[in-house]
Amino acid sequence: MSDDELAAYRRSIDEVDAALVRLLAERFRITHAVGMHKAANGMPPVDPIREHEQIDGLRQLATEEGLDPDFCEKFVHFVMDEVIRNHIRIAETNS
């Protein structure tokens, strides 16, 4: 691999990383709205059934895409845990 090829790969990685950050920002904007809705309607901040269904679907998608489903589940849990913390904060603020 030449230095130019390596540089091109790295630029591609940087673009993917930036896209991931933008997608996470959008996801958190949406989950914030969900948290506000839950708080306004007295709903619990956590929906274990929804979480389980989401994890199962994403594990399947990871497998289809050739990714390690365990790694993907850890990543999704990391994101979900932050969403839950945000929903709890929103519920406490709006109670």
How would residue 94 be classed by pLDDT, with cut points 50, 70 and 90?
A: confident
The full set of domains in the chain, from first to last, is: 3-93 (1.20.59.10)
With helix as H, strand as E and coil as C, how does 10-24 read? HHHHHHHHHHHHHHH
How would residue 49 be classed by pLDDT, with cut points 50, 70 and 90?
A: very high
pLDDT digits (tens, 9 = 90+) for 21-46: 999 999 999 999 999 999 999 999 99
d(CA 89, CA 13): 34
pLDDT digits (tens, 9 = 90+) for 60-93: 999 999 999 999 999 999 999 999 999 999 999 9
Give the pLDDT confidence score for residue 90 in this predicted structure: 93
